[in-house]
């Protein structure tokens, strides 16, 4: 089925009321008052209350403007965004301590304009958070550093508990969906090096569905991702962030039964954990709670 009409009506399983509540409002204020961006709010994620109420949250560091322009992403883009806030590591650590979350995800924009693409800043954020919240599990959802392994190692050395990098879509669609500086093979290489460099650290990636991929291409992506040692896989529905022509139309709204089936197919490839569903996002509470349990068990062993 080709792209549907300009305004794409959501199917019933995607129609949900966006979360509110006193705890959500308090936590929003905590992050906003320090000039921090949460992906949860930026992406108007329907899982926000469940995650924040349940002790997980996702912060975007290095500002809210990216040097890339992927056609599925709502983040602002510019050639030379503002210099990252030097005080961000402390602000982030304070906010996470205040939020009292058990599992936090740091994600980041790409900063192709910076000599180290922001590696030192990310490492500083991780170290400060780990120092201030030693019991909290921290996942770092990384960019690809244009394949520079030394920059990747610099961030891994800072001590995140989980290293994530998103492949985003099947290989054939990469040039259409992601920025020209990104690449399917480049992303697999990032994940492969993360696992080779720190073998005991779980790695994680995410695929968006509904962009025109075939089932055969999806299975091939499962194989490619598993072949580079990835432990955790999340599969979610691509949703168009705006009506602008820059953002790709949804090719298909995948039914929850098909997500279940794709999840089961992925599990057959030996992943430690697979989360698959219309609302599943790369940082998804269920996966995070699993990871927390897994990390505590392996740490205990
Ligand atoms: S690299 Fe792409 S997906 Fe990531 S923040 Fe930039 S535009 Fe969005």
Please check whether residue 140 lies inside any domain of the structure: yes
Please check whether residue 99 lies inside any domain of the structure: yes
CB 14 within 8 A of CB 239: yes
Give the pLDDT confidence of 123-154 residue by residue, as tens digits. Answer: 999 999 999 999 899 999 999 999 999 999 99
Distances (CA, A) of 254 to 22, 67, 171, 261: 33, 31, 19, 11
Confidence (pLDDT) at 3: 44
What's the rounded Cα separation, in Å, for the pair 73 and 238?
10
pLDDT at 291 over 80: no
Please check whether residue 179 lies inside any domain of the structure: yes
Distance from the alpha carbon of residue 230 to the mean position of ligand 1, in angstroms = 21
Please check whether residue 5 lies inside any domain of the structure: no
Residue among 169, 179, 187, 206 to mutate when testing ligand 1 (max atoms within 8 A of CB): 179
SS3 content of the chain, % helix, strand, coil (to 5): 40, 15, 45
Ramachandran bin of 162, using left for φ above 0, alpha for ψ from -120 to 50, beta for the remaining angles = beta
Query: Does ligand 1 have an atom closer than 6 angstroms to the CB of 70?
Result: yes
Beta strands in the chain (DSSP E): 37-38, 56-61, 65-66, 76-77, 103-108, 137-142, 162-165, 203-209, 232-237, 273-276
Q: Which atom of ligand 1 is nearest to the CA of 60?
A: 5
pLDDT at 43 over 80: no
Confidence (pLDDT) at 164: 96
Confidence (pLDDT) at 33: 75
For residue 37, give the CATH number of its domain. Answer: 3.20.20.70
What angle (nearest 5°) sits at the alpha carbon of residue 62, between those of residues 108 and 249? 45
pLDDT at 281 over 90: no
pLDDT at 278 over 50: yes
Distance from the alpha carbon of residue 111 to the mean position of ligand 1, in angstroms = 10
Averaged pLDDT, 38-49:
64
- From 91-105, 204-218, 282-296, the region with the lowest mean pLDDT: 282-296
Distance from the alpha carbon of residue 66 to the mean position of ligand 1, in angstroms = 6
At residue 168 the predicted structure's pLDDT band, cuts being 50, 70 and 90, is very high
At residue 181 the predicted structure's pLDDT band, cuts being 50, 70 and 90, is very high
Q: Which domain holds residue 93?
A: 18-300
Percent of the chain whose pLDDT exceeds 90: 66
DSSP H or E segment with residue 286: helix 285-300
Phi then psi dihedrals of residue 142, to 5 deg? -95, 160
Please check whether residue 127 lies inside any domain of the structure: yes
Averaged pLDDT, 88-116:
92
Q: Which atom of ligand 1 is nearest to the CA of 77?
A: 7
- Which range has highest mean pLDDT (18-27, 39-48, 236-245, 246-255)? 246-255
Q: Which atom of ligand 1 is nearest to the CA of 178?
A: 2
Residue among 75, 165, 180, 238 to mutate when testing ligand 1 (max atoms within 8 A of CB): 75
Query: Does ligand 1 have an atom closer than 6 angstroms to the CB of 167?
Result: no
Residue among 38, 60, 108, 109 to mutate when testing ligand 1 (max atoms within 8 A of CB): 109
Query: Does ligand 1 have an atom closer than 6 angstroms to the CB of 49?
Result: no
Task: Return the residue whose CA atom lies nearest to atom 4 of ligand 1.
Answer: 109
Residue partners of 121: CB distance under 8 A and separation at least 6: 61, 62, 84, 88, 89
Please check whether residue 12 lies inside any domain of the structure: no
Averaged pLDDT, 13-31:
67
Give the pLDDT confidence of 260-271 residue by residue, as tens digits. Answer: 999 999 999 999
- From 24-38, 73-87, 107-121, 158-172, the region with the lowest mean pLDDT: 24-38
At residue 195 the predicted structure's pLDDT band, cuts being 50, 70 and 90, is very high
Averaged pLDDT, 182-193:
98
Query: Does ligand 1 have an atom closer than 6 angstroms to the CB of 179?
Result: yes
Averaged pLDDT, 62-86:
93
Higher pLDDT pick, 26 / 64: 64
Averaged pLDDT, 245-273:
95
Number of residues that this document lists for the chain: 301
What's the rounded Cα separation, in Å, for the pair 169 and 39?
19
CB 123 within 8 A of CB 159: no
Q: State the average pLDDT for the chain.
A: 88
Query: Does ligand 1 have an atom closer than 6 angstroms to the CB of 241?
Result: no
Averaged pLDDT, 268-279:
92
Please check whether residue 3 lies inside any domain of the structure: no
Residue among 68, 186, 240 to mutate when testing ligand 1 (max atoms within 8 A of CB): 68
User: Domain count of the chain?
Assistant: 1
Please check whether residue 6 lies inside any domain of the structure: no
Higher pLDDT pick, 299 / 167: 167
């Amino acid at each position: 089925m080709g792209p549907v009409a300009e305004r794409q009506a959501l199917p019933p399983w995607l129609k949900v009321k966006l979360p509110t509540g006193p705890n959500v409002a308090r936590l929003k204020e905590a992050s906003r008052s320090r000039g921090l961006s949460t992906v949860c709010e930026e992406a108007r994620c329907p899982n926000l209350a469940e995650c924040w109420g349940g002790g997980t949250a996702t912060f975007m560091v290095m500002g809210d403007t990216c040097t890339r322009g992927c056609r599925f992403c709502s983040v602002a883009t510019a050639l030379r965004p503002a210099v990252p806030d030097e005080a961000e590591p402390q602000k982030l650590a304070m906010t996470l301590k205040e939020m009292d979350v058990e599992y936090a995800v740091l994600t980041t924009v790409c900063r192709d304009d910076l000599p180290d693409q922001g590696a030192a800043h990310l490492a500083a954020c991780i170290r400060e958070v780990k120092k201030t919240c030693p019991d909290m599990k921290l996942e770092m959802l990384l960019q690809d550093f244009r394949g520079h392994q030394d920059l990747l190692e610099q961030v891994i050395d800072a001590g995140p508990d989980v290293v994530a990098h998103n492949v985003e879509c099947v290989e054939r669609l990469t040039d259409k969906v992601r920025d020209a500086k990104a690449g399917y093979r480049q992303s697999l290489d990032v994940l492969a090096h993360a696992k080779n460099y720190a073998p005991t650290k779980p790695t994680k990636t995410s695929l968006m569905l509904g962009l025109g991929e075939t089932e055969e291409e999806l299975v091939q992506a499962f194989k490619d991702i598993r072949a580079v040692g990835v432990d955790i896989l999340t599969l979610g529905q691509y949703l168009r962030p705006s009506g602008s022509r820059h953002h790709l139309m949804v090719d298909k709204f995948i039914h929850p039964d098909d997500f279940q089936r794709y999840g089961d197919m992925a599990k057959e490839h030996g992943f430690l954990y697979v989360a698959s569903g219309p609302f599943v996002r790369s940082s998804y509470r269920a996966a995070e709670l699993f990871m927390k349990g897994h990390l505590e068990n392996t740490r205990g062993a």
